[in-house]
Structure 1
Amino acid sequence: MTSDIPERALHILQTVFGYPAFRGQQAEIVEHVAGGGDALVLMPTGGGKSLCYQIPALVRDGVGVVVSPLIALMQDQVDALAEVGVRAAFLNSTQTFEETLRIEKLVRTGEIDLVYVAPERLMTQRCLDLFEDSHIALFAIDEAHCVSQWGHDFRPEYIRLSILHERFPHVPRIALTATADQLTRAEIAQRLQLEEARQFVSSFDRPNIRYSIVEKTNGRKQLLDFITSEHQGDAGIVYCLSRKKVEETAEFLNESGIRALPYHAGMDYALRADNQARFLREDGIVMVATIAFGMGIDKPDVRFVCHLDLPKSLEGYYQETGRAGRDGLPSNAWMAYGLQDVVLQRRMIDESEADENFKRVLGSKLDAMLGLCETLSCRRMRLLEYFGERSGPCGNCDTCLIPPVSFDATVPVQKLLSAIYRVDQRFAAGHVIDVLRGVQTERISQWHHDKLTVYGVGPDRSEHEWRAIVRQVIALGLVTVDHDAFSSLKLTESARPVLKGERKVELRQYQKPVKPKRQAGAGKSSYVEMDLSPAEQKIFEKLRWWRMETARAHSVAAFIIFGDATLREIAKVKPTSLDELRGVSGVGAKKLTSYGDEIVAMITEMV
């Protein structure tokens, strides 16, 4: 390779993709890989990972091979590249034999820039022979965390991708992911034989995302209040733990006037694919899904991601919330979480068929997730700390905006721990709380728990307040939830010094949930371009309408034509000539040729 790689890469970035400059570590990564080096790249969702392999593939001679686990999204990725003039295709099981032969010929003759393949297809002898007969520029392994057995998206076929190093030792490889703690990072490097690869770790911070976690009282109703008050008409994702809950929540939202679609692995494949296509191609749809949905979703204008159930790990939570605001515009990550979530997740771990070591790892990951939910400090600080990154308070999460009130909870916690002990550690939270509050129930009478010294020692706190305390002592590791049929609370060794008065406990004060107020001008999303003048807002809306009609005519997703951020800049610049439009971020040479005259004519007419 020649020494003009940086200049050629920047030229491609500006003329093909329409961006004026590289962001963060992009330039360094592109130069390293284009020069023939291997790389392991950790970059947050929306940070521009795809350019880190697309541009080196265009700089280098040959065809870039992208290994992607997501057959359903390959078409959109290829469509997006075609829109900017890059010759791209995919090889997967949805194609006819004739179509496969045609693409294979393009790869062999080098008449294509990038080809996307699923790992299962790559492992076939036919595909490996094809690449050995072709001139390959690089191998890009997207969603590389799928190789980790400790991770939340483990895909067994990813482990076999070390074959690329063995069969193509002189072809550079770049593995990319948005989510990997130290353990996962080491496993990716080891399993893909990238131990000698240069690692590029960007900040995990997504400052445009506001993190909020509320106590779950009536999850669906709270979700509806959140959407109608802050995100009416916006695209969003709602994650649920079970398929049944997905179906019921989607039905509830539709009945409440929110356009929602379900998505889970138990659905008919054709319906699932159709729902995903509608979410990607139409504006304002809410996808209600299990975690089977979302990896690789490249929709930049998802304005919110909600969780109605507690995620299993911070990696999963970060990956899922990261699907919001890929365009850099303000977005929300909202979660409703309660004691039952903790009980359910603990039970799922205990009842799984995994070995004890794996269960311990899962348990520690859940503990970190609970720590985020119950933290008294900035949620973003806690989240970034998990990935080994230090930061100060963000000012843009619920605990920063409305700081929780902490209090010395040593005495109420001692009462709780004593009650758990006095009922022989055989009862669930609800029964223990009834004992503390002095509630007379048939069960309490049956077990003579109204005769205990702890009966009625906590009537000054409501059931919700005691449940908040139970959640927090579980998060602190003072109490565990047994996986028996009763979800019994049991004391840990850490409870002993608290009971003896040798350790103080500080908790967050329970605050009654407040229904979000409908914002002025709701009906539009709360992120609506607040820095656009009324005239510019009108142009922006007209451009969005034009984009939707154009996307429909081209049979592609609207964001493939232009993202909201680009339309927003056009509305502010108001270009009345192609030269003025050429300088807008996201408008490359091909898009300028394809759409420039229409946009300029539209702007000229409006201004």
Structure 2
Amino acid sequence: MDLHGPLKKFFGFNKFKGLQEQVIKSIVENNNTFVIMPTGGGKSLCYQLPALMKEGTAIVVSPLIALMKNQVDAIRGISEEHGVAHVLNSSLNKTEVAQVKADIANGITKLLYVAPESLIKEEYVTFLRTQTISFVAIDEAHCISEWGHDFRPEYRNLKHIIKAIDNVPVICLTATATEKVQEDILKTLGITDANRFKASFNRPNLFYEVRPKTKEVEKDIIRFVKQREGKSGIIYCLSRKKVEEIAQILQVNGIKAVPYHAGLDAKTRVKHQDMFLMEDCDVVVATIAFGMGIDKPDVRYVIHHDIPKSLESYYQETGRAGRDDGEGYCLAFYAYKDIEKLEKFMASKPVAEQEIGHALLQEVVGYAETSMNRRKYLLHYFGEDFDEVNGEGADMDDNSRNPKKKHEAKEDVVILLNVIKNTLQKYKSKEVVNTIVGKENALLTSHKTHLQPFFGIGKSKTAAYWMALIRQILVVNYIKKEIEQYGVIKITKEGERYLENPTSFMMTEDHAYNEENDNAIITNAKSLGGVTDEKLVKLLRDLRKKVAMKQGVPPFAVFQDPSLDDMALKYPVNLDELSKVHGVGEGKARKFGKDFVKLIETYVEENDVLRPDDLIVKSTGVNSGLKLYIIQNTDRKLPLDDIAKSKGLEINELIKEMERIIFSGTKLDINYALDDLLDEDQQEEIHDYFMEAETDKIQEALDEFDGDYDEDELRLMRIKFINEVAN
């Protein structure tokens, strides 16, 4: 059967990609078919082409509305008939549903995309039963398996619905599935006889790196993104709150970024997705809700601010980088604390689900902490061997570029394999390790393992060491994890052979991602809130005095002391850097900054100062939103009490926020509020005081006026004063 004719006719392609041709043949010949093909491998063509060739309508079950819409538009683009593809979901009205049904009945519709929830509806099932259905395709089939990374209970029912409609062939497609998930999908759908096709999971153009996640993680991300200005990237976070925070920090630091998560309304989500596609923004900060339906070939990096819940998720999310076979950089930040957080979330789930969740998380820990070739580790997880010397992309990860120390571990491998054997191969890795280091628990006691002569045989080394060794012999296939009782370790034939004739085994030493290692990335003590340069502070003070005299304002109105201290810590040498110094802001930098950055630049050169290579990261302050709100509403001359109340603030807290705004050089007009509090003479008296004062400390002003004015009045007057003379 030649499929090249239809391929050219419908899609204009001359040749198939990878396994496409064999898969399509299987479907055209009416066989149940199971396809595992990594993202970007051309999965959708596998069911689109046979649907266009065969008589009747193919039903495509997909969980993603955005994806369905994209595909329907694409298919309509290659056909004269608008009705060639339709979506059937909750967003349609009665008239639209009637049109869909008419097109199917008239044989126009070749592809009908439905969400699993819609397929359950009695009226649709009844209607479809009377039509000619060519086959049912289930996209994102890992949703069927509770071992999959995106399990959806409504997917479990598909088998019965498909049977109710017609006895037609089923094709399942997924971009990630371990053996466990594959078995689960085939069993649940009752198609264990399916032809199976599995493409290689290796994406040789992707570079994998895991870094310890420290308190400086935002700074690291900004530095990474700034080095790739103008390139597209995705940053994944686990919570909506974190997405908003990171997007805001990036925006404040001059990076075009937008947030994307399920809490945003549909219109905003579509807008942000389109901005990313049309390159109106460089970075999308997102929860995993993003990217499923997006096919942007030139995403250059994917950053995981939080480590995901499973290696499938990780593989799928990193797989959005470099789909055009160009550069793709996958950077994950990892701290064991995050794993503990995820385990806490699981505590409320049913026990069976918890067990699955823990097992999947342990695989993630293994990947993050391993010091072996990351690509080899990842591909092994998906049941694929990888040659870390000659394989495609062999040196494309941090571990291969910076190899860790190795040592001979032949005797330890023998100990490990013997303990697995002597405990009758019925334990998971944790219990095997507990046995070796001699740590009792209820399970070991119930099997009387704690009484065995080998209990505690390896207690001279840590549990983490033995855990790392288990991971390394798992990848070279001396042991395997049982599929049915997931996680139980069995010795393989290779493992048996090794025990009979042990040879050298060089074990790589794992990374230590512990708390003490928290500052692993930060090389410059200054950036940790180090010591200010006193000599420079003195020079800056003198300069401040000069500038103040020239401008006819008191020195504190130019820059406050904390700002000078921060300059002597960060050495800003241009106005952009100066604007990121504590309490400065762009307005102030422009107004007074020129002489200051000139002085600092000369000082840095003459004294060979090593400037912190750390970016000076602008913080969003907790509330750039609040700042905007205050500016807008003082412009509208709203009473300060009302502004404070609507934001749940006390009046003194509002004044504090207003001081923050004013001290960073932004104008804020509160004359209308002061006019209600103080008459012209009183205002003039306080203004003159600040003009002559050595310092702007409120306590000194209170002492000076000796009870004539209260603290709020003086603080508001100081805001007006700074606004007029300094901003």
After superposition, the C-alpha distances for 1:449-496 in whole angstroms (9 at most, x for unaligned) are xxxxxxxxxxxxxxxxxxxxxxxx9xx9899xxxxxxxxxxxxx9995
Partner of residue 628, structure 2: none
How far did residue 281 of structure 1 move? 4.5
After superposition, the C-alpha distances for 1:269-323 in whole angstroms (9 at most, x for unaligned) are 4333433343345455422111222334333332221100111111111111112
Assess, with a 3 A threshold, how the Cα gap between structure 1 residues 337 and 66 changes in structure 2: closer, same or farther: same
Any idea what SS the aligned residue of 1:389 has? coil
Assess, with a 3 A threshold, how the Cα gap between structure 1 residues 184 and 283 changes in structure 2: closer, same or farther: farther
Partner of residue 354, structure 1: 350
How far did residue 77 of structure 1 move? 1.4
Determine the C-alpha separation between the residues in 2 that align with 1:184 and 1:318: 15
How far did residue 167 of structure 1 move? 2.4
Partner of residue 426, structure 1: none
Q: Does 1:500 align with 2:496?
A: no
Q: Does 1:367 align with 2:369?
A: no
Partner of residue 70, structure 1: 64
Q: Does 1:250 align with 2:252?
A: no
- Deviates most, 257-266 or 388-397: 257-266
Partner of residue 554, structure 2: none
Determine the C-alpha separation between the residues in 1 that align with 2:280 and 2:203: 23
Q: Does 1:222 align with 2:223?
A: no
Assess, with a 3 A threshold, how the Cα gap between structure 1 residues 20 and 346 changes in structure 2: closer, same or farther: same
Partner of residue 564, structure 2: none
Determine the C-alpha separation between the residues in 2 that align with 1:407 and 1:219: 32
One-letter amino acid matched to 1:219:
V
Determine the C-alpha separation between the residues in 1 that align with 2:220 and 2:136: 45
Q: Is the 8 A contact 2:258 2:272 kept in 1?
A: yes
Assess, with a 3 A threshold, how the Cα gap between structure 1 residues 514 and 85 changes in structure 2: closer, same or farther: farther
Determine the C-alpha separation between the residues in 2 that align with 1:53 and 1:360: 35
Computing the radius of gyration over CA atoms, which structure comes out larger, 1 or 2?
Answer: 2
Partner of residue 85, structure 1: 79
Partner of residue 488, structure 1: none
Q: Does 1:20 align with 2:14?
A: yes
How far did residue 191 of structure 1 move? 1.4
Q: Scaled by the length of structure 2, what TM-score is found?
A: 0.55
Assess, with a 3 A threshold, how the Cα gap between structure 1 residues 238 and 113 changes in structure 2: closer, same or farther: same
One-letter amino acid matched to 1:353:
K
One-letter amino acid matched to 2:348:
S
Q: Is the 8 A contact 2:371 2:511 kept in 1?
A: no
Q: Is the 8 A contact 2:137 2:171 kept in 1?
A: yes
Q: Is the 8 A contact 2:38 2:201 kept in 1?
A: yes
Assess, with a 3 A threshold, how the Cα gap between structure 1 residues 136 and 501 changes in structure 2: closer, same or farther: closer
Q: Is the 8 A contact 1:143 1:296 kept in 2?
A: no
Any idea what SS the aligned residue of 1:44 has? coil
Partner of residue 37, structure 1: 31
One-letter amino acid matched to 2:110:
D
Partner of residue 271, structure 1: 268
Determine the C-alpha separation between the residues in 1 that align with 2:455 and 2:260: 42
Output the aligned Cα RMSD.
3.0
- Deviates most, 194-203 or 379-388: 194-203
Any idea what SS the aligned residue of 1:171 has? coil
One-letter amino acid matched to 1:403:
P
Determine the C-alpha separation between the residues in 2 that align with 1:298 and 1:134: 33
Any idea what SS the aligned residue of 1:98 has? helix
How far did residue 377 of structure 1 move? 1.2
Query: Of 161, 180, 193, which aligns to 1:183?
Result: 180
How far did residue 401 of structure 1 move? 2.2
Q: Output aligned runs, 1:483-494, within 5 Å.
A: none
How far did residue 192 of structure 1 move? 1.6
Determine the C-alpha separation between the residues in 1 that align with 2:274 and 2:93: 21
Determine the C-alpha separation between the residues in 2 that align with 1:375 and 1:74: 38
Assess, with a 3 A threshold, how the Cα gap between structure 1 residues 407 and 143 changes in structure 2: closer, same or farther: same
Determine the C-alpha separation between the residues in 1 that align with 2:97 and 2:302: 37
Task: Return 5+ residue gaps in structure 1 as ranges.
Answer: 1-5, 410-472, 480-492, 516-607
Determine the C-alpha separation between the residues in 1 that align with 2:511 and 2:183: 39
After superposition, the C-alpha distances for 1:477-529 in whole angstroms (9 at most, x for unaligned) are 899xxxxxxxxxxxxx99955543599776346694389xxxxxxxxxxxxxx
Partner of residue 194, structure 2: 197
Determine the C-alpha separation between the residues in 1 that align with 2:387 and 2:144: 32
Determine the C-alpha separation between the residues in 2 that align with 1:340 and 1:220: 17
Determine the C-alpha separation between the residues in 1 that align with 2:456 and 2:229: 50
Q: Is the 8 A contact 2:261 2:290 kept in 1?
A: yes
After superposition, the C-alpha distances for 1:125-170 in whole angstroms (9 at most, x for unaligned) are 2222232232222211100111112222111111111124412444
After superposition, the C-alpha distances for 1:372-394 in whole angstroms (9 at most, x for unaligned) are 11112110000010111110121
Q: Output aligned runs, 1:108-507, within 5 Å.
A: 108-217=105-214, 218-229=216-227, 231-282=228-279, 284-349=281-346, 351-355=347-351, 357-393=352-388, 394-406=394-406, 499-500=459-460, 507=509
Q: Is the 8 A contact 1:178 1:319 kept in 2?
A: yes
Q: Is the 8 A contact 1:236 1:284 kept in 2?
A: no
Structure ranking higher on relative contact order (CA contacts 8 Å, 6+ apart): 1
Task: Return 5+ residue gaps in structure 2 as ranges.
Answer: 389-393, 410-429, 438-449, 467-507, 524-727
Assess, with a 3 A threshold, how the Cα gap between structure 1 residues 54 and 260 changes in structure 2: closer, same or farther: same
Determine the C-alpha separation between the residues in 2 that align with 1:214 and 1:152: 23
Any idea what SS the aligned residue of 1:184 has? helix
Determine the C-alpha separation between the residues in 2 that align with 1:18 and 1:398: 40
Determine the C-alpha separation between the residues in 1 that align with 2:131 and 2:57: 8
Partner of residue 59, structure 1: 53
Any idea what SS the aligned residue of 2:245 has? helix
Any idea what SS the aligned residue of 1:335 has? strand
Aligned residue-pair number: 431
Q: Is the 8 A contact 1:234 1:284 kept in 2?
A: no
The percentage of counterpart residues that share the same residue type is 41
Assess, with a 3 A threshold, how the Cα gap between structure 1 residues 54 and 82 changes in structure 2: closer, same or farther: same
Q: Is the 8 A contact 1:109 1:134 kept in 2?
A: no
Determine the C-alpha separation between the residues in 2 that align with 1:169 and 1:89: 20
Determine the C-alpha separation between the residues in 1 that align with 2:345 and 2:316: 21
After superposition, the C-alpha distances for 1:43-92 in whole angstroms (9 at most, x for unaligned) are 10111110110111112112222111111332221122223337322122
Assess, with a 3 A threshold, how the Cα gap between structure 1 residues 501 and 365 changes in structure 2: closer, same or farther: closer
How far did residue 265 of structure 1 move? 2.5
Q: Is the 8 A contact 1:324 1:332 kept in 2?
A: yes
Q: Is the 8 A contact 1:303 1:331 kept in 2?
A: yes
Assess, with a 3 A threshold, how the Cα gap between structure 1 residues 501 and 371 changes in structure 2: closer, same or farther: closer
Any idea what SS the aligned residue of 2:371 has? coil
One-letter amino acid matched to 1:179:
T
Q: Does 1:95 align with 2:98?
A: no
- Deviates most, 261-270 or 331-340: 261-270
Q: Scaled by the length of structure 1, what TM-score is found?
A: 0.66
Determine the C-alpha separation between the residues in 2 that align with 1:374 and 1:130: 53
One-letter amino acid matched to 1:10:
H
Q: Is the 8 A contact 1:46 1:325 kept in 2?
A: no
Q: Is the 8 A contact 1:144 1:176 kept in 2?
A: yes
How far did residue 184 of structure 1 move? 1.1
- Deviates most, 358-367 or 37-46: 358-367
Q: Is the 8 A contact 2:30 2:169 kept in 1?
A: yes
Partner of residue 569, structure 2: none
Determine the C-alpha separation between the residues in 1 that align with 2:406 and 2:128: 61
After superposition, the C-alpha distances for 1:239-278 in whole angstroms (9 at most, x for unaligned) are 1111111110011111122222212223334333433343
Assess, with a 3 A threshold, how the Cα gap between structure 1 residues 18 and 367 changes in structure 2: closer, same or farther: same
Any idea what SS the aligned residue of 1:399 has? helix
One-letter amino acid matched to 1:402:
N
Assess, with a 3 A threshold, how the Cα gap between structure 1 residues 66 and 311 changes in structure 2: closer, same or farther: same
Any idea what SS the aligned residue of 2:349 has? coil
